[in-house]
Each structure stands twice: as structure tokens, then as C-alpha cells.
Structure 1
Amino acid sequence: MMEKSPVFFADGSSTKMINAYKKAQETFKYFWREQSWEYRRIVPGLTVSCVKVAFTQEKPGSSELMVEHMWINEIDFDGDHIRGVLINQPNDITHIQVGDPVEVPLEEISDWLFAIYPSKQPKGLSKLFSSSPLPKAYGGFTIQVMREEMSKSDRKAHDNAWGLDFGDYNDIQVVNEQKLHPENLIEHPMSKNMKEKLIEFIQQYPSELTHTDEKGYTILHKETIAGNLTSVDVLLKAGADKNVKTQSGKTALDFARQMKWEHIIPMLESN
């Protein structure tokens, strides 16, 4: 879908655009929280899920850098590095192509975006005579900077090309149904809804509490990185060791502080 979308240009060095990059990096944790739950859904919920990365390369015969901001999807995140696959065809940069794997630290992303259909749909006869709502877009900080500079007609054309409801460029939301359920900023509803399932899982497979992957991550590390308060609480009460370190030397508390999950930090700091 993105390769067919019209290209809209904006000054990447403008104060507004630089602030958009910073905001995307600061709020990426909400993207990852949603994406981590998407991987667990039986029926996919997200219609779009991607991260924008700044790629650089020296111009031929010059020390001047070319910069292209392009999207990657199939996102994975370990608390430090974001991995994905490039989905845009570069215009000038030649060291990477569509389909190539990408790995960058969090501070090198310039945007993120996910979209999901509104949960409240028209019912009865009203549904038959209403147009289908577009998926609601979340994040998209650089996109909203560009939309702000467009005329109303260009903005409509842009949104139609994406097939998404970007909403008000002055009111960027970062979690699903943020207006309807502001408590979702604290915790993803699936974390609370899946509490009993997690308890049952740990009871059936207690070794999962101590299992580590090839990088030394435990289930506690992963749930902490995703900001799942209820899941972290269940794991700690089941006996998860919060002092286990990854191969890079980080505990779950280190990741909670790094991600600024303020609601989880006290739980991991306490005995």
C-alpha cells in the first residue's frame, strides 16, 4: 500500500519535524506494546504496523550525506534495538533494497504508525446505510507535520491514498481508543483480560518462569519491555526472578526504567 501512495515532501530539518522524530522515539513503547499483543492475537487486529527509519549514505564523490526516511515492518524489539524489513524502494540510497533486513537502535527511528478499525460499529439498519469506517491511525508524527502543511483537499487525497483515518493533526493519539478509554495509556486491556490465562499457563508450565532465550531474556523481561503491569505482577507472584540479567547485563527493572514504564518500576523495585 505504501509504495503506491503519493509522495509528500517536508523539510526534515525543520523544528516541527525534529520534534516529531523525538516524540516518535519517546512514545515508541506504545507502538511496541500494541505490536507485541498483535503477535498473540488469533485474529489480526492491526491493518498497518510499521516504523520509519532514517537511512544515510555518502553522496558519490562527496562527503555530504544523503538521508532517506523509509518504512520497515515485521517489527521486533528487544528493549534496545528495533528489527524489521524494508518496505519502501529507496530513491537515491543504494546500500539497501526492499525486503532487506534492518536493525537500528531506538534513537534512530523517525516515526511509527499502527492502525486498527474502531471497535464500535453501526448496528442494525444504520450499519446497512452507513459507509464503512476507515482504520484509525495512531502515531504518525511526521505524517501529521506534513498533513498540517497541506490544503484541505490535499489532506483528503493523502488520507484516501493511505486508506486511513489520521484524524486531527493537532491531536495525535498513541494508544487504541485513547479518547474513550484513557486508562489504556496505563495498561493495554489485553494484559488485564489475559490475566487468568497467564496464571493457568504458568501453573501448567512452571519452567517458563526461568526459561531464557538465546539472548538471556526471560518472560519477565519481555512483559516488562511491553509495559504489561498485570502480567508482570502475575509473574512476580508466581516466583519469577527479577534479578536475572540478559546477555547484555540488563534486568527487568533496567528495561522498565529505560522504557519509562513508571507504573512497573515500583513493582520491580520492591521486595
Structure 2
Amino acid sequence: MTGQIIYSVKGESDELKAAVASAQATFKFFWRELSWEARRIVKSLDMAAVKMSFVLDADDPDIPAVENMWVTDIEFDGESISGVLMNEPRWFTSLKASDPVTLPLAALNDWMYVRGGHVYGGFTVDALRSGMSTEERDAHDRAWGLDFGKAGSVEVVPAEEGQTPRLLSRNLDRAQDRQTLAALERSEHPMALNMRDKVEEGLRQHPEVIREPDAGGWLLLHREVLAGNHTVVRALLRHGADPLTSNCNGQTSLALARAAGWPRIVDLLEGKDTDYQGPVESGGFPVWPIGLALIAAALAWLYYLVIEPVRAAAAGLSNHIPGPINYAAALLILGFGLAGMGPWYYRLRLRTPKAGSSRVLDLVAMIGVMGLGLVLHDYLGSYLISHR
């Protein structure tokens, strides 16, 4: 996530502050994992939680300005994190364990999920462990009963089977860290690849899930964009999801993708994904042959409307040109044919706002074609009159 404020405690070490910044920068990987955990019938995670900074309003100098506490049962809407408090507060007396809480994303202090006893995330935990002696660190890990890995490095996603774990430095300040993060941002969650066919089948059978917002006012497209699920986002777009529709917070899919930091999805929504071929065709028949036939029919009609009267005038024969609606209709058919020859028009269309049930580009194209038809008719009429 980008541009987040960090709530810090007076006297907090620079190491802990840097760890908080790293946790905020990589929170999207935590949320992507939780998006797939919610789909699993048999749960894979032993635990998933975030550490949040609760600001205290106290005059007592012995009480810190911020109390950091772990929260589980996480929900995220792109702006705020909600969940249930895991531990009893020490200073924040208005809360108790198991209370529901909601805080802005800027209050995120750390995140962590556990699979098979192994910890992913935990940047501030690593900062604390790195400052311990070997004996203290071992005691700490035994108390948690978890494998935190080597002190000084953090994993944010599990390694693929048979692959070396992709380790990051806690401060994310190495060139290798930047390369690893860039690769992870453009990678897919394994479940997204495994469920590709099921997702397509589900959208075909239940198209209503594409257009109907959930109880929170979000489309499925918004949820999948925020979670960074590129494969699902592509499938939704292919089945007609509208990327320009805003959620209840006024955020479009593109705004969510940029805020979360998913460059591959940003490319897709901006029409820069060269592998994306636009929406699926109804009936499974490719559109380009129809487009080609429309182009041929329009050109033949325009030949009759334009070339034949000009040839007749050149030969000194009397002629009569059809009404302007014929020229507009021929140009309109030509436009439909060109739009059907590839995804270029669809990609351009997605980048224009909606006007009622249509796109601005559609309206501009229709008006432009009608105007061009009138101009062509009038110009041809003037030409023929001058050559009589």
C-alpha cells in the first residue's frame, strides 16, 4: 500500500519504525492470502492477524501515546481494517479482548499469518527478535510455538513447491528486495491459477454476481482488484464487469489497483495488457468475420453512394443521390465492422465514463458518424451540381 502515515511511539527505535513501514508496504500480500483463505472449504492458515496502533488520549506521562494490539478476523475495505481484538489492553481501558474494532489502514503496525507453524510477515516481530540474544530468541519462539525463520529476514508469501523461499530484508532497502517485490506483485496466487476454469464456469452460470453489488456496496470486481487477483479480474472483465463503476467509497477499480499497488492489474485496466482480448463473445463465434463482412458491405454501399454518382456526372449523365441518412448508415456499418476487428475499440471505450447506460465514446462516435454522413452528402451534392 502506498502513502501511509505511521503511528509511532515516543522513543520507538528507528528499526521498529522501518519495520512498520515495511509491514504497510507489503500488507497487500496478506490481504491477497486472506481473500483465498475465505474461499477454502478446508482452511489452510493456522492464524492470521494484524497489529494495530491504538492512539491513547492520556495526560499521564507514564502512559504511552500509542498501544499496539493484535486483531484477528480481519476485514478490509481499502481504507479501514476491521476485526476482533485478540488480547486484553494494558492501557486502552475502553476496550477488552474480543471487542470489534475498526481503524484506518494508516494505523497498521504489522501483519502476520501462519501456515504449518511457519510465520509469514511479522516485520516488527523480526525487529524485536533481531535485538535478542540467541537464548532469548529461542525462548521467544518456544513461547509462541512458531517458526519465525532466520532473524533479519522476512517471508511474505510461501515459496512454490520445490522452490527456494523468497526472503526479504526487514527494511526492504536492498536492490534484491525491490526485484523480489516487483516479481511478487506481478505473480499470481497458486489458487488463482488452479481455479481459473472454475471461475470462468461460475461466471457463465451466475452472471448476476458480476453486476450486483454486495452488502457493502462493492462489486466483485472491486474485491478482486483490491486483493490483487489478476486472473479473476481478467475473467470478470471478459464477462462484462464494468471497471468504471465506483464502490461505496467512490473508488473505481483502477483507483483501487493503484492504491493497493498491483501494477499488473493497473496495466490490464488501462488497456496495456497485450494478452487481454476484450469481453467474451456470446455463442462462442469469433467476431472478426462479422466485422470483416460489415466492412465489405459498407464499402460496397459507399461505392454505390459516392463513386457511381461521380462517374455518372463525369460521363455527363443525369443522376440523383440518395438522402443523407443513407450515408450516415453506411458509415455507421463501417464503424461497427472496424470495432469488430479487434479489442482496440473496447479498450478505448473502457477509458471513457458512462452516460446513462452507454459510454461517452459510443455517443461521440454515433454523433460523429451522423455528422460525417451529413457532410459527405452535402459535399457530394455540391460537387455534382457544379459539374452538371
TM-score (norm 1): 0.85
Does 2:130 correspond to 1:148? yes
AA paired with 2:40? R
Shift of 1:33: 0.5
User: Pairwise CA RMSD of aligned residues?
Assistant: 2.0
Partner of 2:86: 87
**Cα distance change on mapping 1:181 and 1:195 into 2, 3 Å:** farther
Shift in Å, 1:60: 5.1
Q: 1:180 aligns with which of 156, 160, 164?
A: 164
Q: What number of residue pairs does the alignment pair up?
A: 245
Match of 2:192? 191
Gaps of at least 5 residues in structure 2 are: 1-8, 167-182, 272-346, 348-388
2:104 alignment partner in structure 1 = 105
Q: Displacement of 1:57 after TM fit?
A: 1.6
The answer for the alignment partner of 1:55 in structure 2 is 54
CA distance in 1, matches of 2:234, 2:184: 17
Matched ranges for 1:63-74 at <5 A? 66-74=65-73
The equivalent of 1:122 in structure 2 is none
Structure 2 residue matching 1:104: 3-state secondary structure: strand
> Is this contact kept in 1: 2:55–2:65, CA < 8 A?
yes
Preserved CA contact (<8 Å) 2:23 2:110: yes
Per the alignment, in what secondary structure is the counterpart of residue 263 of structure 1? helix
**How much does 1:180 deviate?**
3.3
Structure in which a larger fraction of residues adopt strand: 1
Q: Which residue number corresponds to residue 219 of structure 1?
A: 220
> 1:215-238, CA deviations, whole angstroms, 9 ceiling, x for partnerless residues?
321111011000001111111111
Q: Which has the higher contact order (CA 8 A, sep 6+)?
A: 1
Q: Equivalent residue of 1:115, what SS?
A: strand
CA distance in 2: counterparts of 1:204 and 1:36, whole angstroms: 22
The one-letter amino acid of 2:126's match is: Q
Deviations 1:100-130 (A, max 9, x none): 111111111100000102xxxxxxxxxxxxx
Runs of 4+ in structure 1 over 2 Å off: 58-66, 178-185
User: Distance between the aligned counterparts of 1:172 and 1:64, measured in 2?
Assistant: 31
Structure 1 residues 57, 42: CA separation in 2 closer, same or farther (over 3 Å shift)?
A: same
2:118 and 2:148 in contact (8 A); partners too = yes
The letter of the residue matching 2:196 is: K
Deviation at 1:269, TM superposition (A): 1.0
Q: Structure 1 163/65 Cα, relative in aligned 2: closer, same or farther at 3 Å?
A: closer
Structure with higher Rg: it is 2
- Cα distance in 1 for partners of 2:152, 2:57 equals 35
- In 2, distance between residues paired with 1:247 and 1:113? 28
Q: Which has more helix, going by share of residues? A: 2
